Amino acid sequence: MSNKILVIEDNEEMCDNIASILKLAHYDVIKAFNGKVGVEIVQQQHPDLILCDVMMPELDGYGVLHILGKDPDTADIPFIFLTAKAEKSDFRTGMNLGADDYITKPFDGLELLKAVEVRLKKNELIKTTFHNSLDDVNEFFNKTRQLKEFHKLSENRPCRHLKRKDFLFMEGQQPNDLFFISKGEIKTYKSNPQGKELITGLHHAGEFIGYVPLLENKAYCESAEVLEDAEVCIIPGHDFTTLIYSNKEIAGKFIKLLANNLFEAEQRLVDLAYQSVRQRVAGTLLKLNHTNTNDTVKTNLIQVSRKDMANIVGTATESLNRTLADFKDEKLIEIVDSGIRILDQTKLARITV
């Protein structure tokens, strides 16, 4: 299905010429010879892109953009100005109103088609929903590389295979890359002068890790150690900064992928402040069970060391063991040599409330 493009231009000859060029490129073209009619067409037909002249009688291009920008149903439609005026003040006025691009008359057909193609690709990327899987991350990068300002993004992102107890990075190291976990589980933790660990996060397949130090250009303030054999996709730091700082719209899309686990981190801090040890242990067991990636024979079997679990809960190992013993007596869990198996998720969930 071809993209629908609306051309708003009061010079009928110019409008017909633009329309004929777009039709040769197999776009579906609608014409409007004044701003008022153009606004009505947009509100009725919602084209995929709008090409609009600036200087028009009754309602000029700025007025068209202002009206469409106030309506949530039309505000996100890509909007390109066509103008014979190239003064900086005119560019600034249009961009402040929300224009996506400017094409200065006179222009040739190739210049027009390239501007339309780039804007449609960018809009498609922004509207696409990406999930936190390696395939979707690669699709995001591949689509983004098609845009002019992102051509220098790396074409390939190598993956590292890490064994249990391997370190992805260590506290004090300078960051160079962003990491995406495609398989396995990684814990991040801080160590105090006495060597005691405080686990700051458990990271699973589908999560990015290490982006805060890259943003702040500071050394890692925590270490990342593999809990379960992992595969990690490496995204060069240059790619990360390009995505964050080159274009606001693309940065917003990328940040949504990055921030998949921010709510979880905030919720853990609230739990530490306001929940009892019993509530926190119950919540940790449910979370570890939910993210368990073992085979079906070991369903509901949690294989995390007591030390690591105590650090996640934020309590002493002795307090954790007492609470687990209570849960066992209440027949909420079963403790076996290879780990902990949850017997009653419903009752554990009630304890967390």
Q: What is the CATH number of the domain that holds 192?
A: 2.60.120.10
CA 5 distance to own-chain centroid: 29
CATH number for 79: 3.40.50.2300
Both structure tokens of 321? 């063991």
Going by pLDDT thresholds of 50, 70 and 90, the confidence category of residue 16 is very high
Domain boundaries, position 76: 4-127
Q: What is the pLDDT of residue 239?
A: 92
Q: Which of 72, 92, 127 is the last residue of a domain?
A: 127
CA 183 distance to own-chain centroid: 19
Residue 330 CA neighbour count, 13 Å, CB half? 16
Judge if 35 and 117 occupy the same domain. yes
Q: Which of 127, 159, 179 is the last residue of a domain?
A: 127
Report if residue 267 sits inside a domain: no
Report if residue 94 sits inside a domain: yes
Q: Which of 127, 150, 169 is the last residue of a domain?
A: 127
Q: What share of the chain is helix, strand, coil (3-state, %, to 5)?
A: 45, 25, 30
Residue pLDDT, tens place only, 169-221: 999 999 999 999 999 999 998 887 776 777 888 888 888 998 888 887 889 98
Judge if 45 and 147 occupy the same domain. no
Q: Does pTM surpass 0.85?
A: no
